[in-house]
């Protein structure tokens, strides 16, 4: 602050006498204390101050690349010969041995070691560590817990170019091994670099496949022989059936040729049944899948999946690309009689077809966006159908342990577990296995483990919780009752439909000029299409609305719980 003040003063006033006087004390400011203002403040009695003297640090994680391990053992038989003895010379080695045996220290050490070894052996034999202690205890009742599934293991396609897992099969004896068939399902996308191999995996070792199967062309499906656990049969992309014996190694033992491609062969005893898209060729039988039973090649259907029940060797069923399920009799004489009946099933190809292992008259089909359960007697429609799902269903199978449980996999990577006794419209458990589409699914014979294969070549092994894989009391009888009920319902509906149709027909014959709308099945195709579209749109919209409303509800609930917005 620069303040400069220049002033002038008369010379005569310099040194003038100061006339100073006292000015008494004057109160300048008086501010009384104010309690109200004080209430705005509180005394700060403590202050926390954190002090730390540390050098700056940072955390960083590193993961090394996976190293492949191989376990192998070494057995040491005999060795350690001194330099001057030729181990291949019998005389020299026997002489050396005799010398060593006579050595003093050798005898002493043997005696000492012998006593130590004897002690250890006695210890081992004293207690049997494998003895079963709690034999005969009854199984504790499983408490009702939420159904769950855990991923145990994942087997990845070891090749660079990932292929879809199209077929899976468990080893029939205990299920420790899993055979997986890899191929590229997209037509003509196979590049030259893609490997043709399919693998057998051991459940405990996800790093390396136990055995590699080398067919001439990629395998589309693969199955273990249920009677002979060493043999496998696979159907390959170019239409050949290839047959392996695992004891003999990775090259196929036999294979046969075929004109056109087919998808799903099965092995029964030692016979092989074949199915072909257009034609069936040697060695066994010939059948043309035709709804009109005329044996006409032009109207043949493409077969996608096949179901064979070992206890009923004459009958089997085929699921087709067109959505029909055809039930056939193997023993029939003429081709026309082979096809016993057809079931009009799905709007798209029937990807999976399986009989219920406990109720062979009922079977499960999967195709388009639903899974349906059928009874053999009812041909018009399925006795049970799931809701339309969000994505395409690609495979399904029954649980071998519980008659009312089945599994499905979908194109969005979800595995659904359905328990029909519990809830028919929604899956009991939905697990997201991976982000890619899942193409194949197989349940192990004990019902605990499920393997599913994805588009990227990963096979995931899941363990299903005990609640879903142990047989419940009365389950069989309950399910039998349910199936009967549904079957009866369908029969009644079918009978009514027939009555209505008869009535309509008789009425329309009487009055021919007025074209009364015939019953629903004979509408104008355009009208049908329009109606189907509008039905579908309203269904989808309804589903979306419901979902939105549910989400809104969730948001509202969460907002009402937060104190400040």
Partner 1 sequence: MDYYETEEDSALTTFNVEEAKEIIRSAVEGVVGGNVYQHSRVKQWNSSVIEQCLSQLNKLGKPFKYIVNCIIMQKTGAGLQTACACFWDNSTDGCCAVKWENESMHCIVNVFGMAI
Chain positions contacting partner 1, by CB under 8 A: 1, 3, 5, 7, 9, 18-41
Query: 42 or 129, CB closer to partner 1?
Result: 42
User: Cβ closer to partner 1: 37 or 54?
Assistant: 37
Question: Do the Cβ atoms of 309 and 319 come closer than 8 Å?
Answer: no
Please say which residue, 23 or 559, places its beta carbon nearer to partner 1: 23
The secondary structure of 199-248 as a DSSP string is EEEETTB-SS-SEEE--SS-EEEEEE-SS-TTEEEEEETTS-EEEEETTT
Residue among 3 and 74 whose Cβ is closer to partner 1: 3
Nearer to partner 1, 26 or 56 (CB): 26
**Cα three-residue angle 350-354-358, rounded to 5 degrees:** 155
- Least separation in angstroms between residue 14's CB and partner 1 is 11
Least gap, CB of 28 to partner 1 (angstroms): 4
Question: Measured from the CB atom, is 17 or 131 closer to partner 1?
Answer: 17
Give min distance, CB of 561 to partner 1, in A.
37
Q: How far, in Å, CA of 326 to CA of 167, rounded?
A: 22
Per-residue tokens: 252 = 């196929």
Interatomic CA distance for residues 289 and 323, integer angstroms: 13
Q: How far is the CB of 43 from partner 1 (least distance, A)?
A: 10
**CB environment 410-445: b (16+ within 10 A), e (fewer):** bbbbbbbbbbbbeeeeebbbebebbebbbbbbbbbe
Which residue, 21 or 63, is less far from partner 1 as judged by CB? 21
Which of 303, 325, 307 shows the shortest CA–CA distance to 316? Answer: 307
**Is the Cβ of residue 28 or residue 126 nearer to partner 1 in the bound state?**
28
- Residue 383, H or E segment: none
Tokens of 534: 């509008």
Distance of alpha carbon 564 from alpha carbon 543, whole angstroms: 33
> What are the tokens at 490?
């369908």
Min CB(31)–partner 1 separation in Å: 4
Distances (CA, A) of 488 to 362, 375, 380, 483: 13, 10, 13, 8
β 324-329/384-385 pair status: unpaired
Asked if 383 and 373 count as a contact pair (C-beta separation under 8 A), the reply is yes
Q: Please, what is the minimum distance in Å from the beta carbon of residue 51 to partner 1?
A: 23
CB of 42 to partner 1, least distance (A): 11
Separation in Å, CA 227 to CA 224, 270, 310, 448? 9, 9, 11, 22
- For the bound state, the minimum distance from the C-beta of residue 11 to partner 1, rounded and expressed in Å, comes to 14
Q: Which residue has the tokens 């989400």?
A: 551
> Smallest distance, Å, CB 12 to partner 1?
10
Q: To 10 degrees, what angle do helices 90-102 and 104-126 make?
A: 80
Provide the minimum distance between the beta carbon of 19 and partner 1 in the complex, in angstroms, as a whole number.
6
CB closer to partner 1, 10 vs 64: 10
CB of 46 to partner 1, least distance (A): 19
Dist CA 280 CA 287 (whole Å): 6
Question: Which residue number, 41 or 137, has a Cβ lying nearer to partner 1?
Answer: 41
Burial (Cβ within 10 Å: 0-12, 13-18, ≥19) of residue 330: middle
Q: How far is the CB of 50 from partner 1 (least distance, A)?
A: 22
Sheet holding 198-202, edge to edge: 164-170, 177-183, 198-202, 211-213
Can you give the three-state secondary structure of 424-445, one letter per residue? CCCCCEEEECCCCCEEEEEECC
Nearer to partner 1, 43 or 49 (CB): 43
Measured from the CB atom, the residue of 29 and 116 that comes closer to partner 1 is: 29
């Amino acid at each position: 602050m620069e303040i400069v003040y220049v002033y002038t003063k008369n010379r005569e006033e310099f040194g003038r006498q100061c006339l100073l006087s006292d000015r008494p004390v004057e109160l300048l400011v008086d501010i009384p204390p104010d309690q109200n203002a004080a209430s705005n403040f509180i005394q700060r009695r403590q202050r926390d101050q954190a002090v730390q003297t540390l050098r700056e640090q940072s955390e960083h994680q590193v993961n090394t690349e996976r190293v492949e391990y191989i376990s192998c053992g070494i057995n040491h038989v005999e060795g350690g010969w001194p330099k001057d003895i030729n181990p291949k010379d019998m005389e020299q080695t026997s002489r050396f041995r005799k010398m060593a045996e006579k050595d003093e220290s050798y005898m002493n050490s043997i005696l000492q070691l012998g006593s130590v070894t004897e002690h250890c052996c006695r210890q081992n034999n004293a207690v049997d560590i494998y003895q079963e202690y709690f034999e005969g205890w009854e199984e504790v009742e499983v408490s009702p817990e939420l159904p769950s599934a855990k991923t145990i293991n994942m087997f990845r396609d070891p090749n660079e170019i990932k292929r879809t897992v199209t077929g899976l099969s468990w080893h029939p004896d205990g299920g420790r091994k899993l055979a997986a068939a890899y191929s590229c399902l997209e037509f003509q996308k196979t590049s030259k670099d893609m490997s043709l191999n399919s693998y057998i995996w051991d459940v405990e070792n996800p790093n390396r496949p136990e055995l590699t199967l080398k067919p001439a062309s990629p395998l589309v499906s693969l199955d273990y022989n249920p009677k002979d656990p060493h043999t496998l049969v696979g159907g390959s992309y170019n239409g050949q059936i290839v047959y392996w014996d695992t004891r003999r190694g990775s090259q196929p033992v036999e294979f046969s040729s075929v004109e056109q491609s087919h998808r799903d062969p099965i092995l029964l005893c030692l016979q092989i049944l074949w199915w072909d898209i257009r034609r069936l060729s040697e060695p066994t039988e010939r059948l043309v899948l035709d709804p009109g039973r005329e044996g006409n090649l032009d109207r043949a259907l493409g077969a996608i999946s096949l179901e064979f029940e070992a206890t009923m060797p004459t009958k089997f069923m085929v699921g087709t690309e067109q959505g029909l399920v055809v039930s056939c009799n193997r023993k029939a004489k003429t081709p026309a009689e082979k096809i016993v009946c057809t079931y009009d099933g799905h709007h798209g190809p029937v990807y999976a077809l399986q009989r219920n292992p406990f109720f062979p008259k009922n079977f499960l089909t999967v195709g388009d966006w639903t899974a349906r359960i059928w009874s053999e007697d009812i041909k018009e429609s399925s006795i049970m159908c799931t809701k339309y799902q969000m994505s395409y269903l690609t495979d399904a199978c029954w649980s071998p342990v519980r008659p009312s449980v089945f599994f499905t996999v979908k194109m969005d990577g979800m595995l659904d577990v359905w328990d029909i006794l519990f809830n028919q419209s929604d899956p009991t458990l939905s697990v997201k296995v991976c982000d890619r589409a899942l193409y194949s699914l197989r349940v192990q014979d004990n019902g605990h483990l499920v393997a599913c294969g994805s588009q990227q070549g990963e096979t995931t092994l899941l363990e299903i919780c005990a609640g879903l894989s142990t047989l419940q009391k009365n389950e069989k009888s309950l399910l039998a009752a349910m199936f009967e009920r549904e079957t009866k319902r369908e029969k009644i509906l079918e009978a009514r439909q027939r009555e209505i149709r008869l009535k309509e027909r008789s009425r329309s014959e009487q009055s021919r000029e007025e074209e009364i709308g015939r019953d629903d099945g004979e509408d104008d195709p355009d009208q049908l299409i329009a109606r189907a579209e509008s039905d579908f749109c309203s269904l989808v919209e309804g589903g979306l609305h419901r979902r939105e409303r549910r989400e809104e509800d969730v948001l509202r609930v969460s907002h009402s719980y937060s104190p400040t917005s």
